[in-house]
Structures are given as structure tokens and as C-alpha cells.
Amino acid sequence: MGLMTKNEYIESLRKLKPTVYMFGEKVENVVDNPRLRAGIEATGATYELAEDPELRHLIVTESKLIGEPINRFNNPPQSIEDLVARVKMNRVLGRRVGTCFQRCTGQDCLASLSVATYDCDQKYGTQYNKRFTEFLKYMQKNDLVANAGVTDMKGDRNLGPTEQPDKDVYLHIVEKRADGIVVRGAKAHQTGSLSSHELIVLPTRALRKGEEEFAVAFAVPADAPGVIHVVGRSSLDTREEGGCDCGNVRYSKYAPTVIFENVFVPWERVFLCGEVEYAADLVLYFSAFHRQSHGGCKAGKIDCMAGAALTMMTYNGTDKVGHHKEKVIDMIHRAETLYGCSLAASYEGKQKPSGVYFIDPVLANASKIHEGREMAEATRLMIDIAGGFVADLPSDKDFANSEVGPLLKKYLKGASNVPVENRVKMFRFIEKMAMESADTISDIHGGGSPAAHRLTIYREADTQARIKAAKRLAGIEE
């Protein structure tokens, strides 16, 4: 099949019948639900760009496995150029949708498994890489979307997985059968799980001897029996039925909690089963790849934020105000620094024994720490420039009211040459970018907590080389 069009992607999701709950009710039609459709449209942009003659080179590449053009989101990096292209396409997509396009986590899972399964097979003689390679071919041939199930619920953080009163707070194997395994647990913050065809599950943390039941990696369809998607709330979720109140009139983000209630996984889709030391490797590879991904898409989002700020300067009549220009410059340099750090992580990548290229984890984590701090500052600067109506603008229904609507339009007029409706729409868009909770929080916690980013930097950095350099210059010989 090769590459799907966006319309084919939408129709492919209609064929799935996932179990979904939202606002206490069961959702029977995911694709046409206004809130969920906005997230599906964001993922759909990854298919649109593959059809765009000017951008196709960023999204489409040739598969060494199937010898056909494929979407780069299903391509574990085969070169430095592939690593760089990941960042560049993420920036283009981030700028296009202004929110999460919900496909990079699946890409990061595929890349991580392509490395760790090979290493595990070399040590133990397992068949995980062979199984995974067949799964990867399936993803590539059908141009499917994968979701990453990594973050376990974790329960009492003072206790390890085996010490929990209820072990299900860490997803684990509850039964091994001749034809496969049965798993139970849940994964939190599952961005785009309903925009996906497949759910790929990885361990959430490093594990040790005695914790083998938690060292499991596998893939199941998004509508597999026993999989339950419970869609989480976001700050503006009740506005996503349409109109300018929703802010971003094209795209949005949702992040369910996905429950695995005794889900059967056939052996051909099991990629790790008890080899505890490779749980840590999968966490390292995934988190580093995902932190590199963020450097592209979040730089693209800051591009949208800077564009909104510049537009509001015109609409408010403050486009000649010097300190506003300085704030926009601050926003732009934050985006470029974040982008540059992720590109550097790509250019410093190295080939692993499996043949897949892995980014520099220190630079990738440095990029993510920068994002966690600077996205918040870019948001603050955008709101500073826009003004207070970002917080409490009247609703669409007020503007449509025959009595109060004309008065609101009179008093919300800004620059004389700008239609008041445009000013209102831009206020709403800025509110959406600032308040879309699932995306704003992911700037801090996406791909792991800030403490995890810092720990990775300390663990992976060559501290001895730094000590040696300092002692040499100080004249200390040992």
C-alpha cells in the first residue's frame, strides 16, 4: 500500500472500534466527535505534508526494509541525515498545527525498539528483533500511526513495582500462554491514542532482578479487547464544538489514560518479556529520542506564538512599541536555541550495532531542559504583548447576542483598519496556546520530569574528560 492520503487515514480510523469514555459517557463515534476530531486532524497533517510537493522531501523517505517510499514517522533513523530530518519536519509540523501532532512518540518507540531488541537478541539469543522487524514492515507497508505507552501510574513513589499494594499501577504480565501473554495495568498521558492504529508499550523505568513481570514491551491494535481509553480533561475542552471560542479552529490535543484490562498479546507482537536490564535501555533510548523530537515541534509552536504576538501588535496598534519588539526577539531566539540544540543532538549522533542511528543524549536532554523553562517564558511574553483579554474575553454567544453583541464589538475595536472579529479570533488563539493544558504541561513533563533530564545529562556526560581538562590547565599531575 505504501503511503496513505489524509482522507484514507481518516477512513482507516473509522474501521477501528475502540472502547472510549469521555465526560462519564461512552463514545461510539471517535472520528466525528468534535473534540477528538481536532486531535485526529493534527495527526492528519503528517499525511497532508507527505502529499505536499514542496514539503514531501521532509516527510517521505525510502524504506530499506520494503524498498518503497514511506512516511518518515515509521522510519528508525538510518543516518545522520535521518536524525536531522526528524527535527526539521517536526518544526514544520509544529508551526503548521500550533499544538501536538501526536505522531512522534510512536516514531520514538520504533527507533528505540530497533536498537534494544537487537542488543537483547545478541546477548540472549531471543527473537525479539525479528518479531519487531516484521511489525515495522507492517507499519511501513500500511502507513500506520503508532502511540507510545510508556508512563505507568506508579502508585506510591516510595515503593518499587513489586512492593505496591496493587501491582497493577505498573503494567505487568499476569499470564504466559503458549500463544502469547496477558497484561494488566494502565498508561497515563497517552497523547493521540485515538488518532493511532497501534499502541506500542514500553517499560516506564529501569528494573532489576525480581521485577521480570514488569519488563515487557509489545504492540496491540488501539481497539484490542480489554483496552479502554478514558479521555482526560484539558483547560478548554468544553469549547471544542466549534466557533472561535475554541481558539485554534483547526487542531487540538487530547491525552487519554489507557487501561489494559487483561489484554492478550500474541508472541509475534511481544518485543521484551522479562529481560530486566533492557528495560533501562528502552527508557534511555525512548526518552532521548523523544526529547530530541520536542526540540523541533516546540520551536515550531513558538513560531506560532511569535506570529500571534506580532499580529496582536498590529491589531492593538502597538507595532511600533520598542519593548514589544524586544519581547518578540526574545521569543524568536528561544525558538532558535531550542531548535539548534536538537539539531546538534542529531549531528552528533552515532550508529548503534543494529545499524540504527542514535542521537547524542546529553544534547537531547539539554534541549528538553531548555524547553521546559523557555516555553513558559515565551508564553508569558506572548500574553504580555497581547493584553488582558486573553484571560476573560466574552464568548461567541455573547457576540452573537442581538442586545449586547454590537456593544461588545464597539468596545473591543482596536486599530481602525482591523476588523474587530479578527482581533477577537487572535485573542482566542493566544488563549488556546497559553492554556491548552495537555500541551503546556508536556513542555515540562513530556518525555520525563525535569529531574530525569538533569540526571540523564549527569550520567551520560563525560565528567572525567572535564576533570582531566581542568587539572591539566591547573598544572596538576597524577
User: Could you tell me if 202 and 257 lie in one domain?
Assistant: yes
Q: Write the Ramachandran bin of 355: left for phi over 0, alpha for psi from -120 to 50, otherwise beta.
A: left
> Does any domain span residue 215?
yes
Instruction: Report the half-sphere exposure of 257 (CA within 13 A, side-chain side).
Output: 15
3-class DSSP state of 30? coil
User: Could you tell me if 313 and 258 lie in one domain?
Assistant: no
Q: Are 185 and 169 in contact (CB under 8 A)?
A: yes
Query: Residue 379 corresponds to which cell in the numbers above?
Result: 508564553
| 83-127 confidence digits (pLDDT tens) | 999 999 999 999 999 999 999 999 999 999 999 999 999 999 999
d(CA 302, CA 311) in angstroms, rounded, equals 14
Report the CATH number that the domain containing residue 449 is assigned in CATH.
1.20.140.10
Q: In what order do the strands lie in the sheet with 19-22?
A: 25-26, 19-22, 227-230, 257-266, 180-187, 172-177
User: Could you tell me if 213 and 313 lie in one domain?
Assistant: no
Cell 471544542, located at residue: 240
Looking at the DSSP bridge assignments, the partners of residue 185 are 260
Q: Are 339 and 296 in contact (CB under 8 A)?
A: yes
d(CA 38, CA 40) in angstroms, rounded, equals 5
Tally of structural domains, the chain: 2
3-class DSSP state of 302? helix
User: Could you tell me if 176 and 313 lie in one domain?
Assistant: no
> Does any domain span residue 156?
yes
Q: Which residues, given as ranges, of the chain have pLDDT below 50?
A: 438, 443-444
Cα dist. 455→369, 376, 407, 448 in Å? 11, 22, 56, 11
Enter the DSSP assignment of 145. Answer: -
For the chain, what is the radius of gyration of the CA atoms? Answer: 23
pLDDT at 162 (0 to 100): 97
> Does any domain span residue 1?
no
Q: Are 420 and 339 in contact (CB under 8 A)?
A: no
pLDDT at 253 (0 to 100): 87
| 365-403 confidence digits (pLDDT tens) | 888 788 878 888 999 999 999 999 998 999 999 999 999
d(CA 219, CA 224) in angstroms, rounded, equals 10
Q: What is the helix (H) or strand (E) element at residue 266, kind and residue range?
A: strand 257-266
User: Could you tell me if 374 and 269 lie in one domain?
Assistant: no
Q: Which of 240, 275, 310 is the last residue of a domain?
A: 275
d(CA 435, CA 431) in angstroms, rounded, equals 6
d(CA 192, CA 189) in angstroms, rounded, equals 9
d(CA 292, CA 290) in angstroms, rounded, equals 5
Cα angle, residue 20 at apex, residues 245 and 262 outer, rounded to 5°? 150
Determine the residue type at 457. I
Q: In what order do the strands lie in the sheet with 198-201?
A: 146-149, 198-201, 216-221, 270-273
Which residues make Cβ contacts (< 8 Å) with residue 11, sequence separation at least 6?
A: none
Q: Are 252 and 38 in contact (CB under 8 A)?
A: yes
User: Could you tell me if 217 and 260 lie in one domain?
Assistant: yes
3-class DSSP state of 31? coil
Which residues make Cβ contacts (< 8 Å) with residue 314, sequence separation at least 6?
A: 415, 418
Q: Closest Cα partner for 118 from 399, 366, 352, 411?
A: 352
d(CA 338, CA 371) in angstroms, rounded, equals 7
User: Could you tell me if 313 and 235 lie in one domain?
Assistant: no
Report the CATH number that the domain containing residue 37 is assigned in CATH.
2.40.110.10
User: Could you tell me if 205 and 253 lie in one domain?
Assistant: yes
Domain of 295, in residue numbers: 281-466
User: Could you tell me if 367 and 432 lie in one domain?
Assistant: yes
> Does any domain span residue 472?
no
Cα dist. 102→89, 99, 134, 423 in Å? 13, 9, 23, 29
> Does any domain span residue 477?
no
Q: What is the helix (H) or strand (E) element at residue 159, kind and residue range?
A: none
Cα dist. 296→120, 129, 139, 310, 451 in Å? 31, 29, 23, 21, 21
User: Could you tell me if 431 and 336 lie in one domain?
Assistant: yes
pTM: 0.90
Strand boundaries in 122-248, DSSP class E = 146-149, 172-177, 180-187, 198-201, 216-221, 227-230
Q: Which of 275, 302, 334 is the last residue of a domain?
A: 275
3-class DSSP state of 260? strand
Q: Given CA atoms 53, 59, 64, 67 in this order, what sign does their dihedral have? A: negative
User: Could you tell me if 245 and 304 lie in one domain?
Assistant: no
Q: Which of 246, 275, 304 is the last residue of a domain?
A: 275
Q: Closest Cα partner for 36 from 155, 434, 175, 28?
A: 28
> Does any domain span residue 475?
no
Measure CA 141 to chain center. 23
3-class DSSP state of 367? helix
Cα dist. 354→81, 127, 140, 270, 311 in Å? 17, 14, 18, 19, 48
